[in-house]
Amino acid sequence: MSSINQLFLAIDSAGFPARWLDWQEAVTCDVLGKVAYGFGDHEFTFVGGTNRDSGLDSKVTLKSILVLHGVSKVAMRRTTIPLTNCSLFRRDRNMCAYCGAVHLRGLTRDHIVPLSKGGGNHWLNVCACCAVCNLRKGSQSLSELGWQLLYLPYAPNHQEGLLLEN
């Protein structure tokens, strides 16, 4: 992978994953002294301009996981990530919750308990669904159809959200 496309995992000093950094943000954090230390199997070196005083090229070498000074504000609260189709399909691994088919395109968001029957638009009531199953299900409940979910929906927390993003 090119280091230009590399994302760096920023964690706080308590070990809490905070967010992904692109290479520019990671280098900036290091240069500003915000990085306590880095670890991980991969190391990336970024070469900048020439220092006018020393005549040497400026270099920053970073590990793939960066521990930042301080505790992340995100660590102070337990949050779920926003519900979007992209994050939903990643959570469900692009698999239809009813037939089990894996689709890279053409998935839809299905409300397990239909909105028309009082179901909500939240993580525990939605699943990835292929267009065929969604059309077949319509606004019926699973019990009306005699269907069962192949997997149970869950609300991803902040750490799982970081994994779904990358």
Per-residue pLDDT tens over the stretch 85-119: 999 999 999 999 999 999 999 999 999 999 998 88
Residues of the chain with CATH 1.10.30: 85-165
With a pLDDT cut of 70, the percent of the chain lying above it is 92
- For residue 75, pLDDT over 60 is answered with no
The count of other CB atoms within 10 Å of the CB of residue 13 is 14
Tokens standing for 121? Answer: 């638009």
Structure pTM? 0.60
- For residue 34, pLDDT over 60 is answered with yes
pLDDT band at 3 (very low <50, low <70, confident <90, very high): low
CATH of domain 85-165: 1.10.30
Residue 103 in 3-state DSSP? coil
pLDDT at site 76: 53
Helices and strands: H and E segment counts in the chain? 5, 6
Tokens standing for 105? Answer: 């395109």
